[in-house]
A and B are shown apart, each in its own frame.
Chain A
Amino acid sequence: MRASIAAESAGIPSVSLVCEGFVKQAAATGRGHGYDGLPLAVMPGHVDAQSADVMLSNLREVAVDQVIAGLTEAVSSGEAKTQEPTALDVAASGTIDEINRTFIARGWSDGSPIIPPTRDCVEQFIAITAHDPWRRIGIAPSSGRDVTIWSIAVNAVMAGCEPAHLPVLIALAEILVNPHYGAEHSGNTTGADALIIIDGPSSVDLGFNHGQGALRDGHPANTTIGRWLRLYLRNVFGFTPDEHDKATFGNSARVVLAEDMATLADIGWQPLSADFGFDETDDIVTMARMNSGAIIGSVYGSTPDEILPYLADGLARISGWDLTHVYGLGTAQYRPLLILAPLLARTFTDAGWSKDDVRNALFEHARIPAWRFEKLIGEWSNLTAGRRTLIDLAAAGHVPAVFAESDDPERMVPIVTDPSKFAIAVAGDPTRTNAYVFSNDGPHGDWTARSIDRSSSKDLVCGIY
């Protein structure tokens, strides 16, 4: 759709060929860029589930006429426009039950009870940090809606966030409008959801849990900020099933992961945000969309050599179709996350290992057979066009030579392009030896970090109005 939009912007008529299930999202994408009624040619069903005969018959009998019509016939401007409220209008009134039912009916809620966002509540939420409520941080690349302090605060009130969390939410909004992150992909069909990671000295002051149950609900800072993200994606970025969200399954909101800063300081490792140019004195949120997660349970061993193969096995097991972000949908953008419980991190540092030592060892051990890699990105998913072998891809310079050291299909190849692609965080119960791994969605919510500015804003000099 984005290519069609680029063509239309140049005054060149376009038609987009889409599968039947993508029609609503295609229309919403056009609308989000200001182009209502972008012409579509619709393939019945989904091409990946069809024989070549069925697919091409559908093309000839259904879609070709629509391609021609889309390029040669006048186009209506899409749905009739409805007047939308302004930010300060009363959008609904009623008891708390009535407000919640209204918000669910209008698609403004995640289904759990929300705190009614009255104007007073929102103003008070913003007042503590003195930000200008109408400051526009950017434009949502999916919906074309303004990302403002006000809308951040409205959804924060709904989610149950504390006013002290507003700087964290602003930093997250800045990530969402950063083109590197790619928020417009947040509704892709594979349905990844973002994981927010916070580190830095303020994470404890702000009430984040980094210890036992680090990814469990029960701690308001971790839980409500994770919830805010989903609400904000829904209401401002338009990720609802009627607009941009095409998740086949999806996940509920992820609880924010806070790193264990005390352990990191004790063992001499930098937090995750150091991978993005920050250091342990900075307050940072980092975000990436994660596909799958898995527990590496009861890691047994008292030396790095004993525990590393199991951790590497977990990373290899979690890596499936997502390997298309090594090359295919992405390029060198597969960057899985390993979360080590503090005891496991200490096992490495007690033996003198740095984070880079761990990454280098994971690069050697987290490997899968070449035939499996090729099937995952080719035959089984068709996500890397052309069904090229790793040897072909290495010859073309798309993957490093380590993927093509022989032509033996049983040779073991890495799951990332270089050791730095392994992200490592430290959190969780300090008395147990478990780990957690996540696969990431490459450029569709790419790792992006942003500092949290907790200083009083200089924005607000004359009140809300």
Chain B
Amino acid sequence: MSDLSFDGYAPTWCPGCGDWGIRVGIKSALEQLGFDPSTLFISFDIGCSGNMNDFINGYAMHGLHGRSIPTAVGMKCAHHDMKTIVIGGDGGIYGEGGNHFLHACRGNHDITVIVHDNMVYGLTTGQVAPTAKKGFKSKSTPQGIIEVPVNPLALAITQGASFVSQGFAGDARSLIEIIKAAVTHKGFSLVNILQPCVTFNKINTYQYYLKNTYKLPEDYKSGDKKEAIAKSMEVYEEKYPLGILYREEKPAYHENIPQLEGPLVNRVRFTDFEPFTSSFV
């Protein structure tokens, strides 16, 4: 075990915020798997979730809102021996970066995307998020949101993600196990974490989630895509399954690139230019 700690600065989140539990989940999972800050890439999105950049150490990028998935994809392509994790919120991953999300699922990029799903924008002080229930009233939707919520689990499963899971910030113990499984999985893994925003969301509270979540049964078969999609649809009845909904083994994106036998960053410089100039004669 390295003496480098994952602990950065003291978190600045609101007391009672679900982010605290998520941080414990991520940190413990990584420690238990034997990682230290110099052995992994982390791509942080922008938001209360992304602010974890200062509270969890790593070789990290704290980039632009919505773009944490592409930066992670680039990191992975350049140095695929490094474990690569994305930490973001429902706004960055499913809203601003929704396009990147579905295409990263398609590519089965070997990254773990951890989403803080609290159905509201915290850092910008309480506007609606794309996962909010239809009719949710917020500062930006005082008459209630017209759109139906994004269904991240169904979206991920149908677009080709090879590991799709859901956790709850109030159950750190289970969350650690889910994150461990996601990080260990080879290919695109999603951990959607239901999380109360104690300041701006008075509906989806700890009590709400305790009432509406349930753990997938022991005998649940995560390899059945149709069953997983059925489970992911339960969100419309306000039932939230917790655990690993779907899992399959298939080659990750970088494994499909023949020139990525070893990490791109480590290979020797290519210098045989002449055949290329010859092709223009």
B and A form one assembly: no
B residues with CB within 8 A of A: none
